[in-house]
Amino acid sequence: MKDVLKLIKKSIEVVFVIILILTCMVLTVIPASAKSISYDQLHHSCTVFHNNYTAQEGIPTITTSSYIVRRNVTVPSGNMYLGVASSTAATEGTQSLIQANRTAGNLFRDELATALRAEGRTVNTEVYKWTPFGKRYMDLDVWHNGVNLGGIETKVGGSRYLPLQRLKDAWLDANGYPVQLVRKPANW
């Protein structure tokens, strides 16, 4: 009987993993326009940090800069964002481009963490989270009044939100730890 229960449990885990992988593949393949929602929907569902908009209960309005929070939606303007580093950096070598993008991403992460702390939130950076798909380091882990609000993955410009990251984040979200993607366009 124990063997049967173990087999059933393992089968359920495998099915869950397959569903998550397929979901990530679909999110990667579907054109962005197919997932777009209107600006009003964005405002009402509170997924944009932009001057006077608040992302969700407990996460503050950020008035110092404009940020876009992306949760499988596109920006209403339909802008295509340019990469962080210039194309000349790419000719200097891949390592230069990677380092430039990493530096820009870390600066944005720290800028957002500072803004959240100024609003009274407790923010930890580079927080380890276990997933069955491997380690996941959240850029920001946000707390308010002793309650964990979840994680924030920060991206700058055209930095990719990789399928493996999406898979891990979907698993964390399904297990009670919401993850939001906050993207700062390179031209802002």
Sign of CA dihedral 57, 26, 30, 153: positive
Tell me whether residue 12 is in a domain.
yes
Residue-level pLDDT at 53: 32
Q: How far apart are CA 147 and CA 184, in angstroms?
A: 26
Q: How many domains in the chain?
A: 1
In terms of pTM, does the model score above 0.75? no
For residue 146, tell me if it sits in a domain: yes
Residue length of the chain: 188
CB 84 within 8 Å of CB 159? yes
* 52 close to 60: Cβ distance less than 8 angstroms: no
Sign of the four-CA dihedral 12, 17, 20, 26: negative
Alpha-carbon gap, residue 63 to 53, rounded angstroms? 9
DSSP 8-state secondary structure symbol assigned to residue 81: P
pLDDT in tens, the chain (188 residues): 777 777 777 777 766 667 766 565 544 443 443 333 333 333 333 333 333 333 444 443 333 334 444 443 333 333 333 333 333 444 455 667 778 888 889 999 999 999 999 999 999 999 999 999 999 999 999 999 999 999 999 999 888 899 999 999 999 999 999 999 999 987 76
- Tell me whether residue 79 is in a domain: no
Range of the domain at 144: 2-73+84-184
Q: Is residue 166 part of a domain?
A: yes
